Chains A and B, each alone.
Chain A
């Protein structure tokens, strides 16, 4: 057992410091938590795995006794975490054996979901799919998946949707978390693929976090930063966040902009860097296109002007720009404060631009990390389960479609590529108007996680739509489904997944799933078999039968593409994570992309020709070739546009939603781990002291937050947050309330309040600009107060 007792890790989630200096190796610290009464020496066996409760990709071993999971231990030799674990991982494994697990399929009979067997459930799904295919065609069928299955499962699902059914309606809930990361990388580098590496933290002199509360979202990465801060030559921290997060408290410069104004802030930072000549002219000349347009655009954003828009004092913008502009080793990370806000892609791209014009790419301590929010989101993207084509193939490049058709042995016409893939918000719209009649939802809970929940519930509950929900617990979404399929999860099935910095891990089956629950891969293979999908020669479309053969098939598909897995194998991965691309069995993987200023942006190779950062309209091949014939990195500029729902007299606050360290997504797992549940049992709302005083409320009072959509009640926490901004965590739904899947009385889910709007280039919904009002309804002793 580690010196950090479990109770301490709720109190101090980041554990003890192990300080180190710039360029030194990050010391090992092994975090372990075992069930009460079990000592490490008593563990019968350990199974190799990595975290499935956040995107950091922390490697761990799963402890097994008597065919039950009894704990976890960080893997000391892994490049990502050097033995450390997130607090959610220390406790979250207990959810696997929760009595609430789904153990048998359910089908809707006379309005109620009743238990059934697999054959009945799968026959119902296949019957529905076949009928719709013959009556309404492939465009009536859709799939909505997650960032929490395994690579092998996404690749199989993508082939089923794109190749078997032939529909363009396949997306992942990565749309809500990393769509902007992917889009911003495509815009700047022509292709998805994380430029930087976590190891850049070891070398950085400035770490800049843009809308990224890393202390709660990727806690082990924050431990690495904290250990640098505690050592000699600590880096400076620049934090952009309207909340006084742990990152903001540790920051050298904290910028707290008004929600929805990130582009104005970024343009001012770039204005200062260019104006002061802090950019690398030789790098810009040799490796980029588009600098002139950027220089012209940001000329309109001197700090004083940006200060009016963002509410950040001009001198603080200058102080941040000086740090960003003069350091020789700059690491930037970006997450939901940018991705889920207005002008998401345009803002994230400006971070890439900062690195491009400063030549801060591809060397130790100089890198960009466009972060992910989920553990396997990278695989959703690279394997094509977010609607993009596998291997970062370009849907508007006919030779890429031909190549994919060769790999799949299909006619090119079978693979939909006539328009951009359908994003989930558009799918919901098609379901609402009745042209999508079938939605198979895997491992995600849109009835809590999508914006404007009353609308989402009415769509999922519409009789015209046949909903299949595949999950491990009976979520709000399952309760609205027509068929529920019980799935296996982490520790109960084998597969690989890839973290934010391209590190691929193997996660092995440690124990059997409960009851009749099945691995997602087996469910997909069963569906494909029953549907009798064939290739163009009449042979079965899917020829693999288990995780390892699926992985081998994926390797073939990835060959020659940026995310090349051909040098990897399950055997190699048992020893620890390896970063793609990895093209030979003796290659150690690739620590950093773009080390030589060469990008995946060649017109014949790139994943995307880009989109207009304001309108989201895709550019055509001819535009791209004219602009970027030699495949350089692309500097794209964008002016600030006001958000679509600014505060008004009636709704004077800006509502933003986000996470707490103790929960993941809609709490399906974390609320079933007693330590995590008791650490954050109920929804709350955060306001500044001045705003609380204005509405006459005290810490602990029950307040009601309203927007044009609906209302939610939550306890008030007076905290460090920009005046005029209100923060609600998004984890809390209704499965553990009397309402079941909807409010019974006052609303609890943050998404009752959010607006239906998305970033035009990335199609990521906007959760961080909604106009809201707040009023006190009860004091902390539950006494009603007069309005």
Chain B
């Protein structure tokens, strides 16, 4: 069962990182309003995933943190910086880099969910399978969105 706990920990860590990165990206790009609003919506999804994983971990004897609330002390700093630098063309490049990293994290997380779902079926753990089946589609939706935003902004950032 040790391997199983390790796997849950791995997914939990990845999902926690994604949730916190989304908020940071949203705050850094507050002047890109769709990025700001949707990263905050998505962070809520991811925090719910973290909670579900923490509960699943508990059933397997692993102590995992529940999701933090979304108030980082850095938030006002990032938002102010976004407003100050939002008129400079380089912000587009920063946004592209941020979305690229987030997208790669989400793709990795999606693979992790896949492994977790397979493993849950292997040990016939219906509860954990249920968690994976609830969360994984949302990870895929998040990744489809980052990919779509990259597609939209990259020609403008690079070609103009």
Check if A and B associate.
yes
- A residues at B contact (CB < 8 Å): 136-137, 139-140, 168, 418-420, 422, 425-426, 429-430, 432-436, 612, 614-618, 641, 644, 756-758, 760
Whether B145 and A612, one on each chain, are in contact in the complex, defined by CB atoms closer than 8 angstroms, is yes
Whether A432 and B86, one on each chain, are in contact in the complex, defined by CB atoms closer than 8 angstroms, is yes
B88 interfacial contact with A, CB 8 Å: yes
The residue from A136, A430, A614 contacting B141, defined by CB atoms under 8 A apart: A614
Whether A435 and B155, one on each chain, are in contact in the complex, defined by CB atoms closer than 8 angstroms, is no
Whether A756 and B33, one on each chain, are in contact in the complex, defined by CB atoms closer than 8 angstroms, is yes
The residue from B33, B41, B156 contacting A641, defined by CB atoms under 8 A apart: B41
Tell me which residues from 43 to 83 in chain B have a Cβ below 8 Å from any Cβ of chain A: none
Whether B156 and A139, one on each chain, are in contact in the complex, defined by CB atoms closer than 8 angstroms, is yes
Q: Which residues of B contact A139 (CB under 8 A)?
A: 155-156, 159-160
* 5 further interface pairs, Cβ-Cβ under 8 Å (given A168-B155, A758-B34): A426-B34, A433-B91, A435-B89, A614-B41, A644-B40
Whether B89 and A434, one on each chain, are in contact in the complex, defined by CB atoms closer than 8 angstroms, is yes
Q: Which residues of B contact A430 (CB under 8 A)?
A: 156, 160
Q: With the chains together, A140 CA to B159 CA distance in Å?
A: 9
Whether B145 and A615, one on each chain, are in contact in the complex, defined by CB atoms closer than 8 angstroms, is yes
Asked whether A612 and B92 contact (CB < 8 A) given A137-B160, A617-B148, A758-B33, the answer is no
Whether A435 and B148, one on each chain, are in contact in the complex, defined by CB atoms closer than 8 angstroms, is no
Q: How far is the CB of B85 from chain A (nearest CB, A)?
A: 9
Tell me which residues from 13 to 51 in chain B have a Cβ below 8 Å from any Cβ of chain A: 31-34, 37-38, 40-42
The residue from A136, A617, A757 contacting B145, defined by CB atoms under 8 A apart: A617
Q: Which residues of B contact A137 (CB under 8 A)?
A: 159-160
Q: Which residues of B contact A757 (CB under 8 A)?
A: 33, 37
The residue from B33, B155, B160 contacting A425, defined by CB atoms under 8 A apart: B33
Whether A434 and B38, one on each chain, are in contact in the complex, defined by CB atoms closer than 8 angstroms, is no
B97 interfacial contact with A, CB 8 Å: no
Q: With the chains together, A756 CA to B89 CA distance in Å?
A: 20
Q: With the chains together, A177 CA to B38 CA distance in Å?
A: 22
Whether A618 and B148, one on each chain, are in contact in the complex, defined by CB atoms closer than 8 angstroms, is yes
Whether A429 and B159, one on each chain, are in contact in the complex, defined by CB atoms closer than 8 angstroms, is no
Q: Which residues of A contact B141 (CB under 8 A)?
A: 612, 614-615, 617
B99-120 Cβ-contact flags toward A at 8 Å (1 or 0)? 0000000000000000000000
Q: With the chains together, A756 CA to B141 CA distance in Å?
A: 23
Q: Which residues of A contact B145 (CB under 8 A)?
A: 612, 615-617
Q: With the chains together, A615 CA to B145 CA distance in Å?
A: 6
Q: With the chains together, A644 CA to B144 CA distance in Å?
A: 21
B152 interfacial contact with A, CB 8 Å: yes
Asked whether A420 and B152 contact (CB < 8 A) given A432-B86, A644-B37, A644-B40, the answer is yes
Q: Which residues of A contact B147 (CB under 8 A)?
A: 617
Q: How far is the CB of A438 from chain B (nearest CB, A)?
A: 11
Q: With the chains together, A756 CA to B31 CA distance in Å?
A: 9
Q: How far is the CB of B145 from chain A (nearest CB, A)?
A: 4
Q: Which residues of B contact A435 (CB under 8 A)?
A: 89, 92, 156-157, 160
Q: With the chains together, A563 CA to B11 CA distance in Å?
A: 50
26 contacts across the A-B interface (CB closer than 8 A): A136-B160, A137-B159, A139-B155, A419-B151, A419-B152, A422-B152, A422-B156, A425-B33, A426-B34, A429-B32, A430-B160, A432-B86, A433-B86, A433-B87, A433-B88, A433-B89, A434-B87, A435-B92, A435-B160, A614-B41, A614-B141, A615-B142, A616-B34, A618-B148, A644-B40, A756-B33
Q: With the chains together, A281 CA to B121 CA distance in Å?
A: 35
Q: With the chains together, A207 CA to B131 CA distance in Å?
A: 43
Q: Which residues of A contact B152 (CB under 8 A)?
A: 419-420, 422, 426
Most buried by B among A430, A433, A435, A757: A433
Q: Which residues of B contact A436 (CB under 8 A)?
A: 160
Q: Which residues of A contact B160 (CB under 8 A)?
A: 136-137, 139-140, 430, 435-436
**Which residue of B has the minimal Cβ distance to A436?**
B160
Q: With the chains together, A641 CA to B45 CA distance in Å?
A: 11
Q: With the chains together, A428 CA to B34 CA distance in Å?
A: 13
Q: With the chains together, A612 CA to B148 CA distance in Å?
A: 11
Q: Which residues of B contact A419 (CB under 8 A)?
A: 151-152, 155
Q: With the chains together, A712 CA to B141 CA distance in Å?
A: 39
Q: Which residues of B contact A432 (CB under 8 A)?
A: 31, 86-87
Q: Which residues of A contact B142 (CB under 8 A)?
A: 615
Q: With the chains together, A615 CA to B42 CA distance in Å?
A: 9
Q: Which residues of B contact A612 (CB under 8 A)?
A: 141, 144-145
Whether B151 and A429, one on each chain, are in contact in the complex, defined by CB atoms closer than 8 angstroms, is no
